Amino acid sequence: MGAIAAAKPRPLYVAVEGPIGVGKSTLVHRLSERMGARLVMEVVEENPFLPRFYEDRERFAFQTQLFFLMSRFRQQEELHQADLFLPNTLADYHLLKDRIFAQLTLRHDELALYERVYRSLETQILQPDVLIYLSAPHDVLIDRIRRRGRTFELDFDPGYLRSVSEAYQHYFAHYRGTPLLALDNTNLDYVTQSEPVEEIYAQVMQLAGRGQVAVSAV
């Protein structure tokens, strides 16, 4: 009797998280080339409430957050229902980010209602095999936001960004949900150099149980 062929490993799902301007989308694009992965990109510009949120956060926080939650959930729901024979998947966000922003921006009564909706949805999403958390100092984030030049971010409030960054730091200091790769993105040049991409890829594969390669710290 011939040998039984080894089962093909199921595709990996890797998500990248971090505060505004840290470089999530850029890393996802670069890493997707290495992993042969399809991309799931967060829909930001399509949120009709976002420009008004930046003008008046208290007034438009709930509408903005609810639109993001439902938009992100629809994308995540598609991942959960995806064919197992599809290629690896890379996302430039995880649904958990929605809760981080909600707890930062919503009033108590709004947050209570939001939490009821969030809890009913979070059990229906696919958890990543590895979650990458990117961080960078406040001044680096501000510079990157200004350089990318999104219209609704032209008058971006540095104080709000600091609060977002601190909320992320607190959340991921206690995160135990999935294998986590935390990276300081201050000086990582994965835009023009391939070595950082290779090192991140090797660490992702190790955390996912798909590789035994020893790598240096990034």
pLDDT of 124 strictly over 70: yes
pLDDT at 156 > cutoff 90: no
Phi, psi of 46 (to 5 degrees): -80, -5
Map out the domains of the chain with their CATH numbers.
13-207 (3.40.50.300)
Reported as a single tens digit per residue, the pLDDT across 167-206 is 999 999 999 989 999 999 999 888 888 899 999 999 999 9
Extract the tokens encoding 43: 């829909």
- Residues 38-57 have pLDDT tens digits of 899 988 888 999 999 988 99
Question: Quick one: pLDDT at residue 106?
Answer: 97
Alpha carbon separation from 159 to 61, 138, 155 (Å, rounded): 16, 10, 12
Supply the DSSP string of 69-123, one letter for each residue. Answer: HHHHHHHHHHHHT--TTS--EEES--THHHHHHHHHH--HHHHHHHHHHHHHHHT
**How far is Cα 143 from Cα 140, in angstroms, rounded to an integer?**
5
Given the structure tokens 């104080």, which residue do they identify? 159
Backbone angles phi, psi at 120, to 5 degrees: -75, -20
pTM: 0.86
Residues 84-88: what's their mean pLDDT? Answer: 69
Which H or E element spans position 181? strand 180-184
